[in-house]
């Protein structure tokens, strides 16, 4: 059995860990509010833009803009968004497993662009071809941060390098639920229901090519930016919950160690009393 000194040291070490995890919990909670507000505020714009482009893709084709064209290439590009840091519970593990299952169930020639070190390291270990890597975009991702990534995937698609580009990220549902999600970025899928489009046509000023030249690149960047925001909100919520659980576990461990300490202390006191009594009788 451990000595009283050893148990006291363990209790002190666990108390220090508890202080750290509690502080990280509060920091994650403060960051979560900002990340959640940014994610929820940008969703309506992203959803409406996606809806409009789906309607456009239903009535236009590759002759109007190359990003609307279906490529003959069978190669596939996956943009995998994870975190740079750990201590975020099962968030990264679930996202990476989801990506690995998607790659395994749909074999073929593909490459991956990673955002975040956790995804990059996992893809390297799995020997999945990496085309590029981007570090995480910090605590406050800006729209301009994702523009290099958007240009990369857009240029690859226009060059015919890939016939399909997907995004895998963690969709923020609530503080307790973050769901790994796959979303097709390119080619843009036409809307299934085009009843609401008068005559199945749009009026473009000055012309369709000019309008699409402005809208489609922004659509790609907006979809990527929304995925980054979703992943950031998921990261902070998952980290807050993980640190809360770690703090509670530390409290339980301190209680258990305190109980063991008291038992050892009582046993030592009893032994000393027996030794004193035995010595007095021997005299």
Q: Which of 99, 85, 115, 97 is nearest to 238 (CA)?
A: 85
CATH numbers and ranges of domains, the chain: 21-242 (3.40.1380.10)
Question: The tokens of 214 are what?
Answer: 């402005």
Residue 37 CB coordination number (10 Å): 11
Say how many Å lie between the first and final Cα of the chain, rounded. 32
Span 178-218, pLDDT tens digits: 999 999 998 887 766 555 555 456 677 777 777 788 888 88
Contact 99, 79 (CB under 8 A): no
Q: Supply the pLDDT for residue 1.
A: 61
Contact 232, 115 (CB under 8 A): no
Span 212-228, pLDDT tens digits: 888 888 899 999 999 99
Question: Looking at the DSSP assignment, which residues form a beta bridge with residue 167?
Answer: 79, 183
As a whole number of angstroms, the distance between CA 237 and CA 28 comes to 7
Span 125-154, pLDDT tens digits: 999 999 999 988 888 889 999 999 999 999
For residue 77, pLDDT over 80 is answered with: yes
Dihedral angle, C-alpha 186, 192, 197, 201, nearest 10 °? 50
């Amino acid at each position: 059995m451990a000595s009283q000194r050893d148990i006291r040291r363990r209790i002190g070490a666990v108390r220090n860990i508890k202080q750290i995890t509690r502080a990280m919990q509060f920091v994650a909670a403060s960051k979560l509010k900002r990340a959640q507000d940014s994610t929820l505020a940008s969703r309506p714009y992203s959803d409406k833009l996606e809806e409009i482009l789906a309607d456009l893709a239903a009535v236009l084709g590759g002759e109007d803009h190359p990003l609307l064209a279906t490529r003959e290439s069978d190669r596939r590009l996956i943009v995998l968004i994870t975190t740079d840091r750990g201590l975020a519970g099962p968030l990264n593990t679930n996202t990476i497993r989801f990506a690995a299952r998607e790659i395994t169930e749909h074999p073929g020639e593909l490459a991956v662009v990673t955002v975040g070190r956790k995804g990059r390291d996992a893809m390297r270990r799995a020997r999945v071809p990496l085309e590029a890597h981007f570090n995480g975009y910090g605590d406050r991702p800006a729209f301009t941060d994702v523009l290099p990534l958007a240009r990369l995937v857009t240029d690859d698609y226009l060059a015919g390098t890939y016939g399909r580009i997907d995004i895998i990220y963690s969709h923020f549902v609530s503080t307790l639920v973050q769901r790994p999600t796959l979303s097709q970025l390119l080619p843009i899928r036409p809307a299934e229901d085009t009843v609401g489009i008068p005559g199945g046509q749009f009026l473009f000023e000055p012309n369709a090519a000019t309008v699409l030249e402005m809208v489609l690149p922004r659509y790609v960047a907006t979809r990527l930016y929304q995925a980054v925001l979703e992943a950031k909100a998921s990261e902070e919520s998952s980290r807050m919950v993980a640190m809360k659980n770690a703090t509670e576990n530390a409290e339980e461990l301190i209680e258990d160690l305190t109980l063991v300490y008291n038992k050892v202390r009582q046993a030592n006191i009893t032994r000393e009393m027996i030794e004193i009594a035995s010595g007095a009788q021997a005299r």
